[in-house]
A = this chain, B = another copy of it.
Amino acid sequence: MKEGITNILKKSGLSLTDSRRRILQLFLESNNALAHADIEKLSSDQFDRVTVYRTLQTFVEKGIIHTIPSADNAVRYALCQDECSAGHHHDEHVHFVCDVCGATFCLQHTAIPQVQLPNGFKLRQVDVLASGKCNQCA
C-alpha cells in the first residue's frame, strides 16, 4: 500500500510530501467519498486547513480524485477509478448518497442512463445523483 501511494504521486509528477501521502492514503483506505471536513478529522490536526484544501485541489487537477455534486451542496471527493489524467476526467458514473449514514458511493458498475434534451440543447455531461439507503443501512 505504501508503494501504491508513492507510485501514484510520482506518476502524476507530484513531489512526495507527508500531507500528500497521508491524504491519498485516507482515500485508498476509505470505500466511500470524503469531504474536506472528514479529512481534517481523520488526519487529526496533522496539517493546516489550507494544506488540505491545496492538496485536494492538486489531486483534482492531476486526475487522482474527482468531486461529487450533492444535493446538500457539500463538496465530496473520491478516487478516480477510470483513466483520468491531468485536466481530463472521465468519471461519469452514478453517485449514491445514503440518507441514513450519509456515505457517498461511486457506483462504477451502474450505467449512466440516456437523457433526451429539448431542441437546441447540446449535451456535454450528465451527473446522476441517486439517494436512498445503502446496503449497510437498508
Binding site for B on A (CB under 8 A): 67, 69-71, 73-75, 94, 96, 99, 107, 109-111, 113-135, 138
User: Which of B73, B127, B138 sits near A120, CB closer than 8 Å?
Assistant: B138
Query: Main secondary structure on chain A at its contact with chain B?
Result: loop
Report yes or no: B130 in contact with A122, Cβ–Cβ below 8 A. no
CB distance from A116 to the nearest CB of B (A): 6
User: Which of B69, B133, B135 sits near A124, CB closer than 8 Å?
Assistant: B133
Alpha-carbon distance between A107 and B117 when the two chains are bound, in angstroms: 8
Report yes or no: A73 in contact with B73, Cβ–Cβ below 8 A. yes
User: Which of B69, B117, B121, B134 sits near A121, CB closer than 8 Å?
Assistant: B134
Q: A70-B69, A135-B120 are in contact. Are A128 and B115 (CB under 8 A)?
A: yes
Q: A128-B115, A129-B126 are in contact. Are A73 and B71 (CB under 8 A)?
A: no
Q: A122-B132, A133-B121, A138-B122 are in contact. Are A71 and B127 (CB under 8 A)?
A: yes
A120 surroundings in chain B (CB, below 8 A): 134-135, 138
Q: A115-B94, A115-B113 are in contact. Are A125 and B121 (CB under 8 A)?
A: no
Alpha-carbon distance between A129 and B111 when the two chains are bound, in angstroms: 15
Q: A121-B138, A124-B131, A125-B131 are in contact. Are A113 and B110 (CB under 8 A)?
A: no
